Amino acid sequence: MEVESYRIESYQTVSTPYEGHYPHHDTKVSVKTEKLKFVKGDFIVDTQQPGVKYLLETLEPQANDSFFNWNLFDAILQQKEYYSAYVFEDTAAKLLKDNPKLKAELDAKKASDKEFAKDGAAQLDWVYYHSEYYEKTHNQYPVYRCVQVPDKYLQEQLLHSDHPVLFCELFQDKEVLY
């Protein structure tokens, strides 16, 4: 299904609790259109309803009262996988050798950033974050906006709506539906 996906790029967190939370604010995201597979148990939320303002205020990550800003999705901020430099150095060298575009992007970054050019660890991190080994769910917001409505899975009234539909990926490792 074609969706817009959000990646959390930056945010601030308050230093003292408010109502039992340490809310985030100034949340910045990048948006990318991509095709993803969703599974049985995921939800499609119709925004053609009286509660649309609530839905947008809670599901859009940059909104003041979003579930993200209220810490309900903080698990995505924790990187669970990483690398050991002594193991990944050879892999990184092979990645750069086999992928001239990646090497050109790294070289451009080094040319434009003198501090980065002097920092071998930062360069290795950069290669890791731009490789297939990087944990794809890190900072990936688990709510998506449908670009193309999957008509066979929605009620008739959704098919004639001009409003966006939010798709919430809440469950994984289930039977793929589409």
Encoded amino acid at 33, one letter:
T
pLDDT at 167 over 70: no
Do 166 and 143 meet the contact criterion of CB atoms below 8 Å apart? Answer: yes
CA–CA separation, 110 and 104 (whole Å) = 10
CA–CA separation, 173 and 79 (whole Å) = 19
Supply the pTM of this predicted model: 0.69
Which range has the top average pLDDT, 71-80, 100-109, 127-136, 162-171? Answer: 100-109
Per-residue pLDDT tens digits for 132-163:
998 888 899 989 888 765 555 554 434 444 44
Instruction: Report pLDDT for 152.
Output: 55
Do 154 and 167 meet the contact criterion of CB atoms below 8 Å apart? Answer: no
Cβ atoms within 10 Å, residue 45: 15
Beta strand pairing status for 24-35 and 143-146? Answer: unpaired
